[in-house]
Amino acid sequence: MKDYLKHHEWKIIEDSFHASYNKISESLFSIGNGRFGQRGMFEEKYSGQTMQGSYVAGVYYPDKTRVGWWKNGYPEYFAKVLNAADWKSIHVKVNDDEVDIANCELLLFCRTLDMQTGTLTRTMQIKTKSGVVLDIESQRFCSIANDDTAAIKYSITPVNDNVRIQVSLFIDGNVRNADSNYEEMFWNEVSQTASGNQLMVITETRKTNFRVATGCQWIVAVDEKEVPCKTNHHTASMYAGANIETAILKGQMLTACKYVSIVTSQNYENTELQNACVNSLMWSANKGYFNLMNDNAEAWQHKWDEADIKIEGDVAAQQAIRFNIFQLNQTYTGKDARLNIGPKGFTGEKYGGSTYWDTEAYCIPFYLSTASETVARNLLMYRYKHLPKAIENAAKLGFNNGAALYPMVTMNGEECHNEWEITFEEIHRNGAIAYAIFNYSRYTGDKTYLYDYGLEVLIGISRFWYQRVNWSIEKNKYVMLGVTGPNEYENNVNNNWYTNLLAQWCFQYTIDSLNSLKKIDIVKFKFLLEKISLNETLETDKWKDVIANIYLPEHNKLGIFLQQEGYMDKEQILVKDLPAENKPLNQKWSWDRILRSCFIKQADVLQGIYFFESNFTKEEIKRNFDFYEPRTVHESSLSPCIHAIIAAHIGDTDKAYEMYLRTARLDLNDYNNDTEDGCHTTSMAGTWMSIVEGFGGMRVKDDKLHFNPVLPLQWQGFSFKVRFRQHIIQLTINKNQIILDNITGENISVFIQNKLVTLKQDESTILNLKRKVLEQ
């Protein structure tokens, strides 16, 4: 664990430079606006440890699969979100000394991410090799108010001498992905121009033919007065730059404002890109840096008004939840149904930046409660539009009759993950996509998505489940063989409890939804049957047989659901008995040793209990939690949040708080020693869930909100808002009270601590907080 960042409620602050942690900091200080983003790299040249990264949402390259042994059914490529043109660089020479803090004496340093306004600021004082002392301040943002726009303000002041300064502004499309399988360049040259105070580089992805125009326009001022400067333009393949030279006196401040525009062929015809980029640049420059910054700050304030969580008495916890919410909102805004949420967002390249089941299991609950319903609905539409590809994916593996297997990793609906135990076996992802349809319908009360689109998805998934199970004469049950559950430290297991449970539930939910549609709209129901060639009675009778007879492994003596067959044959060791030097397992142990151990990467049985909590007694939940959590190493970022929610539910508030901090500060403290690769963006939604569903105890049952809050001993109080069916409700918890405010909408009835309460519009309802005690 690393603890080099200053605790602050609204800011991430590195108040002295930690060169060995720089790639971690680049991840943490990333900025974005849902359309594009970049890691928190320095504007100046930096010869130390760095991972340069600028990314454009939805733009990808099908990097040819690289495996040692090709297996039939493998995807031919892995979709990579591309490292795109570098637009942030401002290289500086002072009296011919290049500013590079790896080679200068660093006198002062502070970089700050202001999450309230979405701005990244860095101040430093350096001494060059020739002894010139310089004060440097840079500030930049990616505007969520105008999502084709970014801006940088870069200022330099000589402290002890008059100097000659050369400022190099450029856009460089000669970039590579650090994770390229074959060291390929993913971009082709289209054009580059440099004239006046504008630069532009247009590039096109190989194979996928996405075009991206990246442009900049600048203004140079001395002591805030615009000045003419000697300018030399230069272009090369996928590169456009300008060297600006001037002399300034000791104490004078030279400022370069760099306005940036990024537009793509996703939104413009190729012939329109250049003009669209130029028009955006001229508009930005005319508006001016501070007006752009203020617009961005106002847009962020709107986000915070909707989604902020306030924690009293624990600055580390407060900083952490805001960092997680900030990253989620700058990664995905919901404006474009073609986009989704990559597990690293705009902070790195690992996992390809593509879509995983994380979106459905973790992110949709966050967006349901903090944004317009259309945001979550767009995420569901993303999957519906990929249904034909899901059917193709299943067909490649030998399934038929419209069976759908959604990909583990995708950009366009086609499976592109190339590890056999994931591609072929981690099929529980299908269940998460079905569950998201249920979750959306339950939360919003909107059944139109279910009936118009979702049922087709559910039927495709149910058809897959039916073909994936087989009848075991030995067990006299349906079984599901050769799978990998959420715990990826087990591969090729038989009868993973969670996967079998999801299949059983999915059959029932699909049947119930078909019956519901049949009752309310027989015309639409018959149209659906014809469209997908569903023999209602024949297929649903088969599904009902599986529902009644699927094998769900249990250990009767221990009273637990068994993660999979054979789990108890493993040597049962608890995580607390592992020597510290053995952790993390995925960095210290061989894969063979991990697979033979009892250790669990992330919630598996407990993931199923989380999804279907109301199906189990609290005693059952506690027995399973007490058995599985001590064997869980939490080496997936998705693990701690589920454990925090369940711990809060059973009254183990200390464990819930421990797990909350681990999920909330996973990246800020680099718990898993991998933040340098990028932040764990999708798991950040789990941090929000830990508070709202964990400490807030929020559930939806029978069309009503339920709250059963608990207050960690470390906090004086906390509060959050949720949107629910045209209402915004604020819940505030302190040491003694629960305060509910119905901020918008008509009166609404909710359950508080199992008591039905009517919340009147614009009125506060105050109740005493009951203490929840760990049940022994």
Q: What is the model's pLDDT at position 770?
A: 74
Alpha helices in 589-636 (DSSP H): 591-596, 605-611, 618-628
Q: What is the model's pLDDT at position 491?
A: 94
Q: What is the model's pLDDT at position 771?
A: 61
Residue 317's nearest CA partner among 732, 715, 722, 634 is 715
Residues contacting residue 158 through CB under 8 Å, at least 6 positions apart: 94, 132, 133, 134, 248, 249, 250, 251, 252
Q: What is the model's pLDDT at position 353?
A: 62
Q: Mean of the pLDDT values across residues 334-360?
A: 86
- Say if CB 178 and CB 349 are below 8 A apart: yes
Q: What is the model's pLDDT at position 180?
A: 84
Least confident of 56-65, 249-258, 459-468: 56-65
> Mean pLDDT over all residues of the chain?
94
Tokens matching residue 637: 């970022």
What are the E-state strand segments in 30-100? 31-32, 36-38, 54-64, 77-83, 90-94, 97-98
752 membership: H or E segment, kind and range = strand 748-752
pLDDT of 81 over the 60 cut: yes
Tokens matching residue 266: 């996703």
Residues contacting residue 583 through CB under 8 Å, at least 6 positions apart: 633
d(CA 232, CA 240): 11
Q: Mean of the pLDDT values across residues 91-99?
A: 95
544 membership: H or E segment, kind and range = helix 536-549
**Residue appearing with tokens 């049962």:** 572
- Say if CB 483 and CB 397 are below 8 A apart: no
Q: What is the model's pLDDT at position 775?
A: 43
Q: What is the model's pLDDT at position 159?
A: 97
pLDDT of 745 over the 80 cut: no
pLDDT of 606 over the 50 cut: yes
Tens digits of per-residue pLDDT, 436-457? 999 999 999 999 999 999 999 9
Q: What is the model's pLDDT at position 266?
A: 95
* Burial (0-12, 13-18, 19+ Cβ within 10 Å), 261: buried
Tens digits of per-residue pLDDT, 132-156? 999 999 999 999 999 999 999 999 9
Tens digits of per-residue pLDDT, 96-110? 899 999 999 999 999
Residue 209 CB coordination number (10 Å): 10
Q: What is the model's pLDDT at position 772?
A: 54
Q: What is the model's pLDDT at position 389?
A: 96
Q: Give the CB-side neighbour count of residue 406, counting CA atoms within 13 A.
A: 27
> Does the annotation mark 488 as catalytic?
yes
d(CA 725, CA 719): 20
What are the E-state strand segments in 128-229? 133-142, 149-158, 163-172, 187-195, 198-205, 211-222, 225-226
Whether the link from the prior residue into 584 is cis, omega within 30° of 0, is: yes
- Say if CB 6 and CB 61 are below 8 A apart: no
* Burial (0-12, 13-18, 19+ Cβ within 10 Å), 736: exposed
- Say if CB 576 and CB 582 are below 8 A apart: no
State how far the alpha carbon of 131 is from the alpha carbons of 96, 134, 647, in Å: 12, 10, 58
φ, ψ dihedrals at 192, nearest 5°: -150, 135
Q: What is the model's pLDDT at position 520?
A: 96
d(CA 732, CA 725): 20
Q: What is the model's pLDDT at position 76?
A: 82
Q: Mean of the pLDDT values across residues 614-623?
A: 97
**Residue appearing with tokens 């690293």:** 344
d(CA 639, CA 181): 29
The single residue of 414, 488, 635, 676 carrying the catalytic annotation is 488
- Say if CB 677 and CB 24 are below 8 A apart: no
Residue 261's nearest CA partner among 224, 298, 287 is 287
State how far the alpha carbon of 589 is from the alpha carbons of 373, 600, 637, in Å: 44, 14, 19
d(CA 390, CA 433): 12
522 membership: H or E segment, kind and range = helix 522-532
* Burial (0-12, 13-18, 19+ Cβ within 10 Å), 714: middle
Q: pLDDT grade, residue 774 (50/70/90)?
A: very low
Q: What is the model's pLDDT at position 335?
A: 87
DSSP annotation string for 493-512:
BS--HHHHHHHHHHHHHHHH
φ, ψ dihedrals at 680, nearest 5°: -90, 75
Q: Distance of alpha carbon 637 from its chain centroid, rounded?
A: 11
Least confident of 241-245, 356-360, 364-368, 444-448: 356-360
d(CA 729, CA 722): 5
Q: What is the model's pLDDT at position 356?
A: 87
Sign (positive or negative) of CA dihedral 513, 518, 522, 525: positive
Pairing relationship of beta strands 133-142 and 149-158 according to DSSP bridges: antiparallel
Q: What is the model's pLDDT at position 773?
A: 45
What are the E-state strand segments in 603-711? 699-701, 704-707
**Percentage of the chain lying above the pLDDT 70 cut:** 99
Secondary structure (3-state) at 406: coil
Torsion, Cα of 214, 220, 226, 232 (10° steps): -90
Q: pLDDT grade, residue 683 (50/70/90)?
A: confident
What are the E-state strand segments in 434-547? 470-472, 477-479
DSSP annotation string for 690-704:
IIIIIIS--EEETTE
**Residue appearing with tokens 């963006």:** 681
Q: pLDDT grade, residue 291 (50/70/90)?
A: very high
Global confidence as pTM: 0.95
